[in-house]
Structures are given as C-alpha cells and as structure tokens.
C-alpha cells in the first residue's frame, strides 16, 4: 500500500481512500469497527480510524457537530447579507472546533469518494454537506443512512450508499438562515434600544422559535401568579353493601356553598340510606402504548424521574452513540417491519435486567411479533428502540433509567392487551341527588407486566343490584380550592411546542435552555419562573413584533421548509420572503425605539421610575381609585375585586376574612394575589377597594 504522511506525527493515510465524515468521535469509532478492524491514529489531537473494507481503504474522521454557520460582517440592523463561515471564527467559546477542522482538512482532500455519515436528519445532512463542500468534492459525495449504530445496520448502510440528500441540505440551510435572520435582527434591535436610552450594552436575544415560546411561558406565568382560588365543595359518603364498605361522591348537583354542603350531610346522616340507581360491571381491554418518540420519552422521564427535556435528550443521545438504542431525535411512534425485531428481542434475553421479560414475550407471542403502531410518523427514523447490544456494567443510574424505559416500552408494544374489570355504582339520596363510585381491578396484566409505569391503581368495589339499598356508615364534606388551569415547567413548554408544531425534536429542549441562559427564565425552589427581563422582552415582542409572539409565523416557515424538501419552493424564495417580513417589522420598531429602551431600562434598574407601585415598588403604570400600581398588581387587584365578594358568599364569611386567608397562604393563590392580599391586610384603603368590588 502507498501512504502519505500528513501534518501529524502519528497518522499515516492511504493515498487512495474513501473519506467518511461522522458527526461525532464516538459515532466515527462505531462506523469504523462495523467495517472491519481499524487502526486508530490522531491528527491534531482528533482521533481518526483507518480500515480495510472490501478491498478499499476507508478513513473515518469525526466532526464535533456544526463546523460552519451563517455569519455577516455587517453591523447595525436590519442586516440581510450572510455567508456560511467557520463557526470558531465568529462564535465565542467555539475555538475547540478548530482542531476538528484541521483534522478534516488533512483527511478529506484527494479522496476518491466522500461519504456523509452524520446523523440522518436535517442537521446531520447540513453538517456533512458543508464539510465536504469546503474540504472535499460534493460531486464525489454519497449519503449513508442509518437509524442506529449497531454493526449490522452500519454495514448495511455502507453497502447501500445513496446520492446526497440535497433537498434535506437545502431545507436545513434555510432553517439556519431563517433563524439567523430573525434572531440577529430582532436581538440587535432590542440591544440598540437599551443602549440608546441607558448607554449600556446588554446581551438580549429573540428568535423565530424562541420568542413565541417565551411569550407562552409569560402567559402561563401570569395565570399562575394571578390565580384566585375559588372554593368547591364535595360531599362524600361511606356506604356498606353486604359487609363491604366503599366510598361514593356526590356528582349532581354539586353544592354551591358551605351551607348547602352542610345541609346535604345532615340529611344523609338522618336518613342513613342510599338507593342504587344504576350498577354496571364491565370488562374492557387496554391497548399497549406505542414505542417512544423523543417527546414522549422526555415527558415520561420528567414524570417518573424529574429529568428536564434537555437532560433526557442528552442521556438518550449518549445511549445512541453507545449503540444501545436507535436514533432518539425522532417524531415517530411506529416500528416498521423492515427491522429484525425478533433478533433484537432474542438478544435481550441475555440481559440480566430485561432477559426474563424478553423471554416471556417470545413465549407469549410464539415469535409472532406485531407491534402496536402510534399515530405520529417520521420519514427519516422509526420509533426509539433498543438495538439488542448489551449495556456495559459502567452505565450509570441516569443512563440506565432511560435505557430501561426504552426497552420496556419497546417490549410492551409487542405484548397483548391488558384486561381490566370496572364496577360503576350510581346511587341517589332522599332528595334525588346522585352519588357515584368507580372501582377498577386488573384481570390480566398483559402489557403492564413489561411497562408497569402506566398500570392503574386497583380499588375494587362491590356490585350491588339496581334498587338495592346502601347503608350510610359515614358522611361528610370537604372544601377544596381550585388550582391554576395551567402549569409552567420545562416539559410543559416542550409539549406545548410539540402541540403547536414549532421547533424540531432535536431543537426544542435546546431552545428552552436558551431562555434560561438569556436570563428570561429561572429555576427557583424546583420551579420555573419568568424573570422581570423575560416579562418585558415578551411584552415588547407582543407589541412591536407581533408575528414573533405566536406560533403562526414559525408554522408558516416550517411549511415552507417542507416545501423546500419536497422541491416545491427554493431556499432563495423562502429567505427573500423572510427578509421582506423582517424589514417591515424593523421599520415599525425604529419609530418606537425610545419607548422600548425606556421600558427595558426601567426593568433592568438602569433608570428610576417617576411613580412606583404601592405593593412592590416597580414602575406604576396604572391607577385604581387613586392607588398607584404596576401592571401585575393592578390586574391582581381587579381579579380580587371581582372574585372576593363571591367567594365570601360561598363560604359564609366576610370579604375581609377571605383576603386575610389569601394573605396567610392557606390556598393555591398566585404570588401576585398573595402580595396584594398581604398589603390589603395592612392597608384599609386597599382592603376597601377589593371588598367593594370596584363599584
């Protein structure tokens, strides 16, 4: 073999070689070992693998994600001229990419064939294409498509190289250019506004996907903090039928006040009987859930273990790079028949953790493996599934938890339905009020055996006949208070993004983390909060960049990106459309530059407000009956004034007592409601405003 030495002390390259570009070093190593027994060497500290495969020399070299990205040397805004440049040249903290560039620059030139073996998604298509375009020859390039890093699949993919997926490349480049154009222009506009008013440089950012997500977070934050808990009353009865006791709950009509609930309980204790109006016993089957897509896995890991979406994604990507699971950044809930699932499950029988379950499944199905299919699809990858490779003993707890979820959900998809028995009893009291009890019992575990995390709690009840008389053993009522109708957590934001179809499986978690890095969101006491800066940036975006405040614009461009992939539109058309929209918004923004700057300066404490809120000391924008208040506490006063008199009537107490209870935090009241209530307890004037209902 003839070899030539490159600028490295340790690595010799075959003269005639196929250059394979992998997305990360771990993936490169898996690809090389799948093709044979490689020799590992180093170029500028970056590992390279050289292997003989089918009589040809193959050199597998890694990137470290994107090496190129959109950039412009222009200052000011709007800025529309961009070029794809090496990221380390313009992005702070990315200097580590330079050594990968140097290594690839030595390996790629002069190769007889170039293979893009980056992850098969839009991002991977762009990463590999840009590297080959700048350091190799795209006319000699091919695409390697795979959904896992198992040796069998990698060998199959290498033997079936396809033309470059240029439609994916164009769509991916357009996505980056759109995000760059929106992000840099709106971000520079915000920073310019604060600089002109305060003279200070503050790093602010906005974006096509980031901004509607922030606006949604603020909407949820406001509802949580402005929630006024309203009382509800539930009457319960402990009844007896032939020696068995069970509880029923009043369902119709619900008591509207404490006095009404007390009256119903008194009647029940006096009469001591309920008559069975209806009694049903049903057997029903529960279909197994489909295998995970990334969003479902993130939601389940959050529910069970409290992991953030980004943490779950990172753990899953680590497992993928270790060839333990398939590609995780997928939207699919389907398991296609092209994959040898029988072989995977047979391999799992050797696992100390899942071996017994895998063996049982093969026995139950007799080898006839027909998985449940979900609704969601992904043209590039199937649902997340194990590869059958044995996990190393060094796998830590967090990685093992995610691996266990993937394996169990995969096995459950092939299992039989679970069978449950449900008894429903409806009874009436002497006044015709209806009470209900529902009891559930598992008859056949079915797929619950493999995935017990969704198994219902068993609470069997008797099945008295219609017309039967139940003895009332005890009765009472409980006062509870409504909780907020919305929640704010990382997983709640991710599921919202998924529902409104903004971002991608691989970018949603990262976008949420960006909101934290920019100081728009924060985590305190295990809860997500919106900062003052996040609130004001969201308000500015809603008022001055309304297209960025809702998912509509993002969805519009997502459809355009899909049109690029389907060759219905060109990248240039989509980018020009974005430039026109951005230009119009920036023109409108500049007319109100000072107003925006003043609002930001007040929020950041760079200027002193002319009038302050009587509750919190922030800038007072509103006046209610001579009482100066900021926006959040003005709204809190309005809500309290509309609801406190009603609540007082339901509880048979005075409005002042309701406010005192809210101030004492004896309910699920929002923070701003509590702050106003505390102030009102000490301030008779504010108490009067709330108690009178703003009449």
Distance CA 162, CA 651 (A): 72
What stretches of 501-658 adopt beta strand conformation (E)? 521-524, 527-530, 622-624, 627-629
> Which of these, 137, 155, 157, 135, lies nearest to 146 by C-alpha position?
157
Round to the nearest angstrom and report the end-to-end CA distance of the chain.
94
Which residues, including other chains, have CB under 8 Å from residue 89's CB and lie 6 or more apart?
71
Distance CA 192, CA 202 (A): 9
Write out the two tokens for 334.
């389907």
User: How many residues would you count in the chain?
Assistant: 695
What stretches of 519-600 adopt beta strand conformation (E)? 521-524, 527-530
Write out the two tokens for 386.
């194990």
Write out the two tokens for 414.
């092939």
Write out the two tokens for 662.
């809210």
Torsion region of 362: left, alpha or beta (phi above 0 gives left; psi -120 to 50 gives alpha): alpha
Using the 8-state DSSP alphabet, how is residue 489 labeled?
S
Contact 170, 572 (CB under 8 A): no
Q: In what order do the strands lie in the sheet with 46-53?
A: 39-43, 46-53, 56-62, 18-22, 113-116, 141-143, 162-163
Measured from the Cβ of residue 525, the count of other Cβ atoms closer than 10 Å reads 5
What stretches of 455-609 adopt beta strand conformation (E)? 469-481, 521-524, 527-530
Contact 238, 475 (CB under 8 A): yes
Q: Give DSSP secondary structure letters for 125-183.
A: HHHHHHHHHHHS-GGGEEE---SS--HHHHHHHHHT-EE--HHHHHHHHHHHHHHHHHH
DSSP H helices in 366-479: 397-414
Residues 97-131: b if buried by 16+ CB within 10 A, e if exposed: beebbbbbbbbbeebebbbbbbbbbbbbbbbbbbb
- What residues act catalytically? 327
Strand, coil or helix: what is 238? strand
Which residues, including other chains, have CB under 8 Å from residue 591's CB and lie 6 or more apart?
none
Q: What are phi and psi of 331, to 5 degrees?
A: -100, 0
**3-class DSSP string for 602-638:** HHCCCCCCCCECCCCCCECCEEECCEEECHHHHHHHH
Q: What are phi and psi of 216, to 5 degrees?
A: -65, -40
Distance CA 263, CA 133 (A): 80
Using the 8-state DSSP alphabet, how is residue 58 labeled?
E
Q: What are phi and psi of 9, to 5 degrees?
A: -80, -20
> Which of these, 46, 122, 88, 41, lies nearest to 507 by C-alpha position?
122
> Strands 12-14 and 56-62: what pairing?
unpaired
Q: What are phi and psi of 78, to 5 degrees?
A: -70, 150
């Amino acid at each position: 073999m003839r070899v030539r030495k490159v600028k490295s002390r340790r690595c010799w390259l075959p003269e005639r070689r196929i250059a394979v570009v992998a997305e990360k070093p771990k993936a490169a190593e898996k690809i090389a070992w799948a093709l044979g027994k490689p020799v590992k060497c180093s170029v500028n500290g970056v590992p390279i693998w050289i292997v003989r495969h089918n009589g040809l020399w193959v050199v597998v070299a890694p990137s470290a994600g994107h090496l190129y990205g959109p950039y412009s040397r222009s200052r000011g805004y709007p800025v529309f001229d961009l070029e794809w440049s090496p990221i380390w040249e313009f992005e702070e903290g990315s200097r580590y990419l330079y050594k990968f560039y140097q290594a690839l620059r030595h390996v790629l030139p002069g190769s007889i064939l170039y293979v893009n073996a980056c992850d098969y998604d839009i991002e991977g298509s762009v990463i590999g294409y840009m590297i080959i375009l700048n350091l190799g020859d795209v006319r000699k390039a091919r695409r390697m498509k795979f959904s896992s890093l198992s040796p069998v699949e990698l060998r199959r993919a290498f033997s079936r190289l396809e033309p470059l997926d240029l439609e994916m490349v164009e769509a991916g480049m357009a996505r980056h250019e759109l995000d760059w154009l929106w992000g840099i222009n709106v971000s520079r506009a915000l920073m310019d506004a604060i600089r002109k008013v305060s003279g200070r440089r503050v790093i602010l950012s906005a974006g096509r996907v980031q901004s509607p997500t922030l606006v949604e977070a603020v909407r949820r934050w406001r509802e949580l903090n402005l929630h006024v808990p309203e009382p509800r009353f539930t009457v319960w009865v402990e009844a007896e039928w032939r020696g068995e006791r069970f509880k029923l709950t009043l369902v119709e009509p619900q008591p509207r006040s404490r006095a009404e609930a007390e009256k119903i309980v008194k009647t029940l204790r006096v009469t001591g009987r309920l008559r069975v109006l209806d009694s049903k016993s049903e057997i029903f089957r529960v279909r197994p859930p489909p295998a995970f897509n990334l969003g479902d896995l993130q939601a389940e890991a959050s529910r069970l273990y409290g992991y953030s979406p980004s943490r779950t994604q990172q753990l899953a990507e680590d497992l993928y790079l270790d060839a333990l699971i398939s590609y995780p950044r997928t939207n699919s809930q389907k398991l296609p028949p092209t994959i040898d699932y029988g072989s995977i499950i047979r391999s799992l029988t050797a696992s100390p953790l899942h071996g017994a379950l895998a063996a049982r499944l093969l026995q139950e199905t007799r080898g006839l493996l027909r998985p449940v299919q979900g609704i969601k699809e992904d043209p590039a990858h199937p649902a997340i599934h194990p590869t059958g490779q044995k996990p190393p003993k060094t796998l830590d707890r967090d990685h093992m938890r995610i691996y266990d979820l993937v394996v169990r959900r995969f096995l459950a998809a092939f299992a039989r339905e679970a069978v449950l028995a449900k008894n429903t009893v409806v009874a009436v009291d002497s006044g015709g009020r209806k009470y209900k009890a529902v009891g559930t019992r598992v008859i056949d575990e079915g797929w619950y055996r493999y995935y017990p995390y969704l198994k219902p709690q068993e609470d069997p009840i008797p099945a008295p006949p219609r017309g039967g008389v139940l003895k009332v053993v005890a009765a009472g009522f409980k006062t509870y208070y409504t909780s907020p109708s919305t929640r704010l957590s990382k997983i709640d934001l991710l599921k919202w993004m998924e529902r409104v179809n903004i971002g991608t499986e691989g970018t949603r978690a990262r976008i949420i983390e960006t909101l934290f890095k920019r100081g728009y969101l924060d985590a305190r006491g295990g809860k997500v909060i919106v900062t003052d800066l996040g609130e004001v940036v969201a308000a500015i975006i809603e008022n001055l960049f309304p297209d960025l405040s809702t998912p509509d614009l993002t969805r519009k461009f997502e459809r355009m990106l899909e049109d690029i992939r389907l060759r219905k539109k060109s990248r240039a058309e989509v980018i020009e459309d974005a430039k026109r929209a951005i230009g119009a918004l920036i023109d409108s923004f500049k007319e109100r530059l000072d107003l925006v700057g003043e609002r930001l300066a007040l929020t950041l404490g760079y200027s002193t407000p002319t009038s302050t809120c009587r509750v919190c000391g922030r800038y007072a924008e509103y006046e209610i009956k001579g009482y100066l208040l900021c926006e959040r506490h003005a709204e809190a006063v309005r809500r309290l004034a509309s609801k406190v008199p009603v609540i007082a009537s339901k509880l048979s107490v005075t409005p002042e007592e309701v406010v005192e209870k809210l101030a004492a935090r004896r309910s699920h009241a929002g923070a701003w409601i509590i702050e106003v209530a505390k102030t009102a307890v000490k301030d008779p004037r504010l108490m009067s405003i709330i108690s009178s209902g703003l009449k």
